[in-house]
Amino acid sequence: MTHPSVVSVQNLSVRLPRGADRPFAVEDVSLDVRRGEILCVVGESGSGKSVLSAAIMGALPRGLTFGGGSVRFGDRDLTKLRARDLRSIRGNEIAMVFQDPIASLNPAIPVGRQVEEVFEIHTDLKPEERRARALALLESTHLPEPARIHGAYPHQISGGQCQRVVIAMALALEPKLLIADEPTTALDVTTQAQILRLFNELRGGDQHGILFITHDFGVVREVADRVAVMRHGRLVEIGPAADVLDRPSHDYTRTLIASVPSLNPPARSTDLSAPPALKADDLVAFYGPVKALKDVSVSIPKGATLAVVGESGSGKSTLARTIIRLHEPDSGTIAVGGVDYTALKGRDLQARRRLVQMIFQNPFGSLNPRRTVGEVLMRAGVLGGADAATARRRALELLDLVRLPREAFDRRPDAFSGGQRQRISIARALAMNPEIVIADESVSALDVSVQAQVLTLLDDLQKTTGMTMLFITHDLRVAAQIADHIAVMKRGEVVEFGLARDVLRRPKHPYTRELVAAAPGQMRSDADAAAE
Amino acid sequence: MLSAISKKTAEVLGAMLVVSFIVFLVLEANVEDVAVKVLGAYSAPDQRAAWLAENGYNDPFLVRYVRWLWDFVTLDWGQSTLFRVPVTDVLPQRLAATGVLAGATLALMVPIALVLGIVAGMREGSATDRSVSFFSVLTTSIPEFATAVFLSAIFVFWLGWLPGASTMISGFSITELILPVSVLTLYSAGYLARITRASMVEAMRSPYVRTALMKGASTSRIVLHHALRNALIAPVTVVMLQIPWLLSGVIVVEVFFAYKGFGTLLYEAALNSDVFLIEACAMVSVVVVVATQLISDILYRLLNPRLRVAVKPAGATA
Amino acid sequence: MTAIETRRTGLRVPAALKSPTILLGAVLVGVWVFAALFAPWIAPYDPLQSRAPLQLPMSRGPDGSLYLLGTDLLGRDILSRLIWGARAVVLWAGLATATAFAVGLAMGLVAGFYKGWVDKVLSFIANVILSFPVLVLYILVIVTFGASGLNIVLAVTFASAPGIFRIVRALTIDIAAQDYVAAAIVQGESPLRIMAVEILPNAAGPLIVDACLRLGYTTITIGVLGFLGLGLPPPTPDWGSMVNDGRPMAIAFPHMVIFPCIAISMMTLGLSLVADGIRELGLRHGRA
């Protein structure tokens, strides 16, 4: 705590353009980043955390303007510097790491040259020195074969490797301040764990301070020395990590932390001896030339929830799309309530489609922007076999059921937030009285507090309607909260299957063990386990 | 990448084969008609019958097609009834004349359009951007013959600076080339400028440009090193695809200025029902289109680093 | 539960009228649509009647009648011919564009939705047609089948349907990848209804823009064919043909060619401006 601050934000406000939903993106925020520490700024979408980081870089998005306060960096105020002076600081004294590592690198230039460019801009180093320094930097971020990576284009290396390159680039001139804006959000959990480890290593040096922007309290727990919580552009609270995370002084922080799903599965009372509502055997499916499913078999007792967990490319989404017949399997069978679902064709299939319904991932792409909520729900009811009057009545009931006001009936999707749209999608799926509901990453695009609400809603609906659920997710913590059984997938195969608490507490397969270990926010689950 | 190119080539050759069949079907399915067109409306019926028999027109249609195709491939393109010489005697020099016109147009149009597009796209929404957009809408909306009339009215009729026709009777003349080239440039530059602008705007908004900005790169470095490399891929391939489009404009402009090129040749052949000349012109223009499509495809692959390697990302088909 | 926002988006007529680009374009086009609709009442003279040859603009003929835009070689009033010519242009360009759109739309939706071999076949046909330079294609069709309004419709449909097909196909593939289409499939909705209710309305923005541009191209095409002497058969007053007729004497009497050129340029520029304005509005609303 004795370290001096590298940057000091004082009463900073950033004005939003006229017509926005509030006057300020960032309002009266004051905080310091100190040498040798990682300060995490946490908040949900719209909290202003990313605008804050852009403001510190002096690079406000178009339309936003400084509305008062200052950003003191050494003896300069970054909000008042001219473009030329800002340029000499950027990449040199302050550097930045971004959310989408692959897109952040120029696709037409080998990554090594992009690292060297920092020296080209800010120093007089000779080409061979630049190259040597770049190779050393790539090495220091633990990239394998630095020489090969140096000459590779961004699309030729993985997302995690790209992020290491971006970090190497940021560290090139030993900046005093490193700003990382959601640097692990686009990465798989196991890769995220590695990058977080790298950040923890970086802190050791003492030469710089790190401002780490994230929405994930699990990530905060892994890296933060101090934590600042933001909401609606304002700073809610700031303090040492241990205080904010375990003894939050503010209600909002408390709610947020309580919303973070824990790796510990709650006790569940589902009857797992019921006959299977869904039984898929030896499914094989190709996605392009890739064999995405290799003899996958799953079965879910009626009224139970199976969570399929895996990283990107594991085949979990292909499994969902194959079961619902959006993707044709090459072999294998799917039985839904005793009907051979794979054998159905043409109009027979259309007529039986209602048995299996889906809640999609992207709340902004899963509702036709041109149709009102009422039209969507009524059409689903009619296709499910109801007449128009019944479908209308049922649509209104469903709105109650998913806890949306009845006025929603006449509105189009653009009037709703992401969480509300997911509720509409859930209502649409239920309007058909399905036997099975498949949720494909249905809560992963939502903020934690909304995520928690939707998960609770799904759990309640399952209890009241007795539906069977297949829940696809990349997040073990979410799976822990909702599933009776968990199946872990890797490269098109189910590597582990079992009761949720067995898989999470006593994982058998090494990959499952790796996944469980990589799930961010472990310290808390340890504490919870001790408390139990 | 090689397999992708050979696949494209096969596709393109297949399309050409079908096109040649359509050309043959339209122009030579009715043999009586061919005889009338070749021998003239006042030829005697038995004279036509004899000519048809002599030239193998009594054979089945498909046989005639295959023979015709073979003749075309071996550059035996028949006799022009209009010029009374083999088609191969008139066509090459006319094609060369058009090549000069098109070459001059491209040499002028491409740099102008690229510069306009880049300058406009660098600062989206600026006054420059708006002016360039308006200029391109204006010039691409006005048909070539109208532009030709307007330019002629100013520079020929009113100011008297330039000749109104480009017959090149007394040898090659630069002044006679100015108006046709200007008309074609005006008409085509707007489109290319728009494509370049859109591509540039996209690049300037991209995360990698933001990365460069956050590295402290100057505006000129960002534009030259980062944005242009990616932004020029689309326009360069579009230039190739514009050549066939230019060919349509060339016909109008050549006719307007009486320029003795490929366009006027096709036009005269069409007006005079010169069957073999029409066929040859149609096939040559198809070869030009298909060749530009192929080159454009190859250029795109060469310029795009993501396609340069053999590995295709999963799910990316076609 | 947070309140539902009341913000609405979408292209509405009042919003379109606030765009100066659209307004200017609409005026340029509107003048000639008005002329086409009310030609018999607003044209000063009979467009086919020979009155006094080669009168200059704003001059009075021997009988004292005023010729605002002058007369042509045969003594026909140019203004009246332009007004009646607007009818031919609006009618045939509209009809030809509409047919081309109907064909391209149907083919594009089917190819983009079903993909597979249907798409391969349709795309190949489109590529074959697009291997012809457009004007060569027109000349071939008109020379073979003769010059008439219907043959122009035929030629335009044949030549521009593939371009429309490509756009519709690309849009369809894009929209069909959206989850709301997957949701409709999963509900057992019929393919026809999915194309009509889920896909088409969401492609409407870019398609309206394209339709405006196509209408402009078709107007240019009809003008060019007229200019080449392959347009609507005489004595139909057709703008392109007027340029062609006036060309031999253009050096001495430029008014005979300039006014038809201005008319056609107004029309095509107007359509481009409308298209541009709509596209801009669409972009601002995050669509199109």
In percent, the amount of chain A with pLDDT more than 90 equals 52
Q: Nearest CA to CA, how far is C26 from chain A (Å)?
A: 26
Q: What is the pLDDT of residue B307?
A: 66
- Domain containing residue C281: CATH number: 1.10.3720.10
Provide the pLDDT confidence category of residue C105 given band limits of 50, 70 and 90.
very high
Contact C4 A416 (CB under 8 A): yes
Q: Is C5 among the domain residues?
A: no
Mean pLDDT estimate for chain B = 85
Q: What is the pLDDT of residue A262?
A: 85
Q: Nearest CA to CA, how far is C125 from chain B (Å)?
A: 8
Contact C1 A405 (CB under 8 A): yes
Note whether A216 and A185 are within 8 A (CB).
Answer: yes
Q: Nearest CA to CA, how far is A109 from chain C (Å)?
A: 29
pLDDT (tens digit per residue) in A125-184: 999 999 999 999 999 888 988 999 999 999 889 888 999 999 999 989 889 999 999 998
Question: Which single residue is written with the structure tokens 């201005």?
Answer: C262
Provide the pLDDT confidence category of residue C253 given band limits of 50, 70 and 90.
confident
Q: Nearest CA to CA, how far is A123 from chain B (Å)?
A: 12
Residues A213-227, mean pLDDT to the nearest whole number: 91
Tally the C-alpha atoms within 13 A of residue A456's C-alpha that lie toward its C-beta.
12
Residues C267-276, mean pLDDT to the nearest whole number: 92
pLDDT (tens digit per residue) in A35-94: 889 999 999 888 889 899 999 988 888 889 898 899 999 888 988 888 889 899 998 999
Q: What is the pLDDT of residue B31?
A: 78
Position A83, amino acid: A
Position A438, amino acid: I
Note whether A212 and A224 are within 8 A (CB).
Answer: yes
Contact B252 C144 (CB under 8 A): no
Say yes or no to pLDDT of C250 above 80.
Answer: no
With beta carbons under 8 A apart, name residues in chain C contacting A353: 185-188
Contact A349 C188 (CB under 8 A): yes
Q: Mind giving me the DSSP string for B169-186?
A: TTS--HHHHHHHHHHHHH
Contact A367 C180 (CB under 8 A): yes
Q: Nearest CA to CA, how far is B106 from chain C (Å)?
A: 17
- Cβ of residue B211 closer than 8 Å to a chain A Cβ: yes
Residues A242-247, mean pLDDT to the nearest whole number: 90
Q: Is C280 among the domain residues?
A: yes
pLDDT (tens digit per residue) in C191-232: 999 999 999 999 988 899 999 999 998 999 888 888 888 888
Q: Is C168 among the domain residues?
A: yes
Say yes or no to pLDDT of C175 above 80.
Answer: yes
- Cβ of residue A155 closer than 8 Å to a chain B Cβ: yes
Provide the pLDDT confidence category of residue C284 given band limits of 50, 70 and 90.
low
Provide the pLDDT confidence category of residue B47 given band limits of 50, 70 and 90.
confident
A186 φ, ψ to 5°?
-85, 5
With beta carbons under 8 A apart, name residues in chain B contacting A81: none
Contact A383 C190 (CB under 8 A): no
**A433 Cβ contact partners less than 8 Å away, ≥ 6 residues apart:** A354, A384
* B182 vs B167: CA distance, rounded Å: 16
A324-340: burial string, b at 16+ Cβ within 10 Å, e else: bbebebeebebbbbeee
Residues A417-421, mean pLDDT to the nearest whole number: 89
Strand partners, A278: A300, A336
With beta carbons under 8 A apart, name residues in chain C contacting A368: 180, 184, 197-198, 201-202
Name which of A335-349, C10-24, C272-286 the model is least confident about.
C10-24
**A161 Cβ contact partners less than 8 Å away, ≥ 6 residues apart:** A143, A149
The tokens describing A280, both together, are 């898929």
With beta carbons under 8 A apart, name residues in chain C contacting B142: 265, 268-269
Residue of B nearest to A121 (CA): B217
Q: What is the pLDDT of residue A127?
A: 93
Name which of A472-476, B30-34, B88-92, B205-209 the model is least confident about.
B30-34
Q: Does domain B89-274 have CATH number 1.25.40.10?
A: no
Nearest to C186 among A353, A368, A420 (CB): A353
Position B214, amino acid: M
Residues in chain C: 288
Q: What is the pLDDT of residue A13?
A: 93
Nearest to B282 among C140, C223, C271 (CB): C140
- Cβ of residue A326 closer than 8 Å to a chain C Cβ: yes
pLDDT (tens digit per residue) in B230-247: 898 888 888 887 887 788
Contact A371 C197 (CB under 8 A): yes
**Alpha carbon of A90 to those of A86, A96, A135, A275, C190: distances in Å?**
6, 8, 21, 63, 56
Q: What is the pLDDT of residue B317?
A: 31
Q: What is the pLDDT of residue C285?
A: 59
pLDDT (tens digit per residue) in C77-89: 888 888 888 888 8
With beta carbons under 8 A apart, name residues in chain A contacting B315: 287-288
Residue ranges of domains in chain B: 2-73, 89-274
The tokens describing C250, both together, are 């253009």
Say yes or no to pLDDT of C93 above 70.
Answer: yes
Task: Report CA Rg, chain C.
Answer: 23
Note whether A483 and A270 are within 8 A (CB).
Answer: no
Note whether A227 and A531 are within 8 A (CB).
Answer: no
Provide the pLDDT confidence category of residue A522 given band limits of 50, 70 and 90.
low
pLDDT (tens digit per residue) in A197-207: 888 888 766 67
The model's pTM? 0.85
Query: What's the domain count of chain C?
Result: 1
Q: What is the pLDDT of residue B73?
A: 86
Residue of B nearest to A292 (CA): B314
- Cβ of residue A73 closer than 8 Å to a chain C Cβ: no
**A422 Cβ contact partners less than 8 Å away, ≥ 6 residues apart:** A359, A363, A442, A443, A446, A450, A454
pLDDT (tens digit per residue) in B278-317: 888 888 888 888 888 888 888 888 887 776 554 333 333 3
Say yes or no to pLDDT of B263 above 80.
Answer: yes
Residue of C nearest to B155 (CA): C251
* C142 vs C119: CA distance, rounded Å: 30
Contact C186 A326 (CB under 8 A): yes
* B90 vs B276: CA distance, rounded Å: 12
User: Residue C154 belongs to what domain range?
Assistant: 17-46+66-287
Contact C271 B141 (CB under 8 A): yes
Residue of B nearest to C257 (CA): B149
Strand partners, A479: none
In percent, the amount of chain B with pLDDT more than 70 equals 96
pLDDT (tens digit per residue) in A259-287: 888 888 888 888 888 899 999 999 999 98
Say yes or no to pLDDT of C188 above 70.
Answer: yes
Residues in chain A: 532
Q: Nearest CA to CA, how far is C193 from chain A (Å)?
A: 12
Residue of B nearest to C249 (CA): B157
Q: What is the pLDDT of residue C228?
A: 86
- Among residues C233, C268, C148, C137, which one has the least CA distance to residue B146? C268
Q: Mind giving me the DSSP string for A348-378?
A: HHHHHGGGEEEE-S-TTTSS-TTS-HHHHHH
Nearest to A383 among C5, C180, C189 (CB): C189
With beta carbons under 8 A apart, name residues in chain C contacting B284: none
